[in-house]
A and B are shown apart, each in its own frame.
Chain A
């Protein structure tokens, strides 16, 4: 049981890292990315292939996973830079599906739908499962903390302010002399690093990845985390991720209590509950548990602007 709880917390860490990455892309810069699971997959496959096939150390794999995801992010954001939001939604969703189709078909590289197994984890062989999970949880906590501090710093830096300005009104930011495209690409790349690293850490934790893992539902989980926690808010992102994982896991216990349903029906019911809750949250709680801080030192509370000028 404690092992299960620790494993749950590790998953929450992976989700939190993704939510932090999405917070840069979506929350701060206001860029639509419905294909975040594609970047997650790129990170996971890069790290898995480097460590399993070429025998690189895990750390190198994870870093390479982040870098590769960032490069893919640069390409995607450059190609889609001029697109309106609704087209961006279609293209990013299509991107993630295409990554999955690629991973399913390029069997020589990715082993197709059988997936890659035996991905190394730190000291996996020398530790008991509980010890391994605890160690991994410690690593996850460290990584999420670092990412949290970095995103928080970024958020209140001049760079973060420009991103928010672009999100709120792109034209005004451009008129103020900001290179909007450059900022968008950088935001996409930085967010993708977090997504890629999350993918790599996930792969090394579970030791097995396959195309079936990288479905759009995972994208929705992170959206759910961001929405539950509050868009544009790092604390909210982490909190939301934890809430979402506990919620997802709790459905695992509720469903078997319902009599006379087959395992397939149970799985379907779980996804049904998850997607309906997303709809409810999206509808009634669009700003999340912790809305974006409006009273922070550098993000002034709703503006009585003229008063400020005279002061």
Chain B
């Protein structure tokens, strides 16, 4: 294989991997938007909180990776319910923008809470070191494959939850038409709690998955926020299949841009993608709210 083709394939592969991981928090974001109807910037700090919860489970208590990821999901989800009940719920009556501003303040508050206890230093997870596999010039890490598998399983679970369970259907009903769902006796408060738990849980899980590749610090979530929002907006805010497609587009797009831009422009790529989609097709790729 020619070196250029190999590099190109490597970037596409990295993009798919990054995109699949990105899809996890993006699904959380888009689901919360569909039900609660405001852009929840507190996602960033919940991703960070999840990453640190996973760190405590993995490094402090020595748990293996999968239970640690589960712990990250639970802690971020519980924090998500608390955030929504105590802080964001009263704002929702005042409109989407006030709530969005509130969620920025909330994200800074939680981020600093994490900083207070863990300081600014970079921390790495306790992972077995493994040699990369090489297929015809393309390099794949076993850890990346595991992250990919975890993300795919999580996505499958989310889709199964929304398609087959009563609560999942109720959630889709509220997203589709809150008034009608209310008439049918669906309790909007319960749905809001479940979506806050699930959405922020996915954010926390995503934060840990993002951190597994490199390291974590209190800004982990914030640095990924633009990519996550880009994934959700590009796919169509409120559409869960859209979030997956959007995440793959952003993941691959960010990697391909490495051909011409320096890696630190990663988040700017997300921003450009948002602008492009909003100018050309404001509803996003799968704007017809499929779920």
Chain A positions within 8 Å of B, measured between CB atoms, are 32, 34, 79-80, 82-83, 85-87, 89-91, 93-95, 97-98, 101-102, 104-105, 216-217, 219-220, 223, 262, 264-265, 267-269, 271-272, 274-276, 278-279, 282-283, 286
Contact = CB atoms under 8 A, between A and B. Distances in A.
A282 B96 CA distance: 13
Contacts of A87: 39, 233, 237, 278, 282
B282 A83 contact: yes
B163 to A, nearest CB: 27
B143 interface: no
Given A265-B116, A282-B91, A90 B233 contact: yes
Given A86-B39, A220-B105, 5 more contacts: A82-B282, A86-B38, A87-B282, A272-B113, A272-B116
B279 interface: yes
Contacts, number: 116
Contacts of A276: 105, 109
Contacts of A262: 119
CB-CB nearest 10 A-B residue pairs: A268-B115, A275-B109, A94-B271, A275-B108, A268-B112, A272-B112, A268-B116, A278-B105, A271-B112, A275-B105
Nearest to A274: B108
Contact of A86 (B97, B112, B268): B97
Q: Is the interface of B mostly helix, strand, loop or mixed?
A: helix
Contacts of A86: 37-39, 96-97, 100, 237
A80 B116 CA distance: 37
Contacts of A220: 101, 104-105, 108
Contacts of A104: 264
B264 A105 contact: yes
A264 B119 contact: yes
Given A269-B116, A275-B109, A282 B268 contact: no
Interface size class on chain B is 35 or more
Nearest to A265: B116
Contacts of B38: 86
A275 B112 contact: yes
A105 B271 contact: no
A79 B275 contact: yes
B39 A101 contact: no
A195 to B, nearest CB: 17
A279 B106 contact: yes
A303 to B, nearest CB: 23
B290 interface: no
B226 interface: yes
Nearest to B120: A264
B133 interface: no
A32 B97 contact: yes
5 contacts: A32-B97, A86-B39, A102-B268, A268-B112, A283-B91
B38 to A, nearest CB: 6
B258 interface: no
